Chain A
Amino acid sequence: MESTIVSAENINAYYGESHAIKNINIKINRNEVVAMMGPSGCGKTTFLRCINRMHELIPNARAEGVMKLDGEDVYKMNVIYVRYKIGMVFQRPNPFPNMSIYENVIAGYLLNGISVPKADKDVIVEKSLTSAALWNEVKDSLHKKGTFLSGGQQQRLCIARAIAMQPDVILFDEPTSALDPISTSSVENLFHELKQNYTLIIVTHNMQQAARVSDRTAFFYLGELVEFDDTKVMFTNPKDQRTQNYITGRFS
């Protein structure tokens, strides 16, 4: 059964005068993995940041249109609630350097001042780290600083941190571009697991990655959504000439 969880209607985003993304309409279903690909500067990250309203943090940046999460307008909701519901993982692993691994996982609760009984905390930490495929590697060093982990482990820690808040959607902004191939594959394998419980939106400029992990793929070019279709169709039989050119590497 498919149901829309994120729907964008006529989203436009600006940085000052420059029009970064133009009239994007997209509907993303529950429990699917959507990859967004396109050349650098095509607006895919900007669009991603419009979903959980991180875009508006940049000075002079603004977004227009209707972004719906489960039928509710994100731009009219409390921004804090929006970000509870939509988790985010960044390009570079960014665990909190002043916190232990344990604290990093429940950072969402700690920093928001949500009090959780110790037993529940333990459960949340174990569950989140297990779903992030990190539990076995760090279960003996939960109280060490998170920054001592390797890059790939740090990125999975950040994923665990996002999962711990039990969001509906998790946004990934080029999550593997700072990682080596082995760490990349461990993060990619994770996507298949996470799909059972969450909706994943992944920005990538790595086409192979989009092909490997996603159910559907969106192609952005110069701030426009050129094509959005099943990944198989996108990579075998794209309808738009520009998509064709991009996946065959005919323009940069």
Chain B
Amino acid sequence: MEFSNQQNQSLAMQQSVRFTISGKEKNMVAAFFLSLILGPLGLFYSTTVGGIVMTVIGGLILLASKLTESPFLLKWGLIMVWIVSMIWSYNTAKKTIKNAEKRLMFRNAESLLYKILIFILAFAITIPLIVILVYIIKQGVTQVNWHFLTHVPAPVGETGGGILNALVGSFLMVIMAAIVSIPIGMAAGIYLSENAKTKLAHYAGLCVDILQGVPSIVVGIVIYFWIVKPVGTFSAVSGSVALAIMMLPIVIRSTEQTLKMLPDSLKEAALSLGVPYHRVMLKVIVPCGFSGILSGIMLSIARVVGETAPLIFTAFGNPYLSGAVTKPMESLPHLIFTYATSPYDEWHNLAWGASFILLVFVLTLNIITKVITRKWKVQL
């Protein structure tokens, strides 16, 4: 009885100590601070190999910065060596700790440290956005008033003037682009999600990906040679075509992804009621994926409304109010581009005001998209 008890105890001990730690125990705090002060030399306390490696690297950096006379390399190189030495030293010392509870304590402290670090980083990445927003609002908000929204830009030397021509132009061109690209994009998206395994879908999907990656200025040039040059004049229509091409991949992919998420059982339910295929798609599948498709459309509009590059060669720009789609037309981003690069303060202010309006529009679209996806999302 006693014997078996002893045996049990020793078994339990063996199980609780899964691995044995050999060697001398090092103090982690000492290891950390030694390398904080001495850098690679402090690393010798916990690991000789590490000390040698880091000292050699540090020496090489010193040598290289001497040769290239680069204070930048010296400064940042040594900082990197110091940081690596500190982490290395801390980690090797940690592995020598024999007391399990102590190890656990340090592990908890570490995970807390990581959590704080991640929080700080997440906070830090929002700072540029906030700074940009604040700056544009500060510069732009004073320009915006009713007069600004209802008048065309004033000629040089006159005060006042607005961006009505650009508002109308952007609106018209985006609407025309949307009318073309949304039905085509949705149809293509439906095809891709329904026939995912066919060869055509594979290559079409590939094309969509490539199209998404084509720089917008390239789209502009292509449309310039396809439409503007043969016709002989810049026109709003050619701008819309360029924008439509930019919108297409976003609409296609968002439709496809949304519809792929819907379960097959939904389609089967409708088919088993004797509903013809096209009605199943139009009345069941598309309505169920509506919020996803709509948010894709909104995002694509938000994306192209700020595109300048494809419009430079196509819609070109127009300082007067124009509704003629076969003639050059102004747009918000193009107005910002021309007026911000002009030498007149009045025009710079106009560009800031237009930037503010564009920003508000894009932000609003994004917020609406978020609300729609949340509110209209079909509960499956």
Contact = CB atoms under 8 A, between A and B. Distances in A.
Interface of A: 52, 54, 57, 59, 79-84, 87-88, 90, 92, 94-98, 107-108, 110-113, 145, 147-148, 158, 161-162, 165
A113 B275 CA distance: 9
Chain B CB within 10 Å — which of A80, A111, A147, A165 has the most? A111
A59 B196 CA distance: 12
Chain A CB within 10 Å — which of B197, B270, B272, B379 has the most? B272
A79 B273 CA distance: 10
Interface string B273-294: 1111001100110011010000
B269 A165 contact: no
B266 A96 contact: yes
Nearest to B276: A80
B274 A98 contact: no
Given A96-B288, A97-B379, A97-B380, A82 B274 contact: yes
B268 interface: yes
Chain B CB within 10 Å — which of A81, A107, A158 has the most? A107
Task: Tell me the interface secondary structure of chain B in the complex.
Answer: helix
B380 A90 contact: no
B274 to A, nearest CB: 3
Given A94-B268, A97-B378, A111-B275, 16 more contacts: A54-B268, A57-B268, A83-B273, A84-B273, A84-B274, A88-B272, A94-B269, A96-B266, A96-B270, A97-B379, A98-B284, A108-B275, A111-B270, A147-B379, A161-B273, A165-B274
Nearest to B266: A94
B265 interface: yes
Nearest to B378: A97
B71 interface: no
Interface of B: 197, 263, 265-266, 268-276, 279-280, 283-284, 287-288, 290, 378-380
Chain A CB within 10 Å — which of B263, B283, B287, B288 has the most? B283
Contacts of B280: 111
A227 B379 CA distance: 43
A153 B280 CA distance: 24
A57 B269 CA distance: 12
A147 B379 CA distance: 7
A96 B280 CA distance: 11
Nearest to A104: B269
A57 B265 contact: no
B271 A57 contact: yes
A178 B263 CA distance: 16
B13 to A, nearest CB: 44
23 contacts: A52-B272, A54-B271, A54-B272, A80-B274, A81-B274, A83-B271, A83-B273, A94-B263, A94-B265, A95-B269, A96-B269, A97-B379, A97-B380, A98-B288, A107-B270, A107-B273, A108-B275, A110-B283, A112-B279, A113-B279, A145-B379, A147-B379, A162-B272
A111 B272 contact: no
A90 B197 contact: no
A81 B276 CA distance: 10
B287 A98 contact: yes
Contacts of B283: 110-111
B272 A83 contact: yes
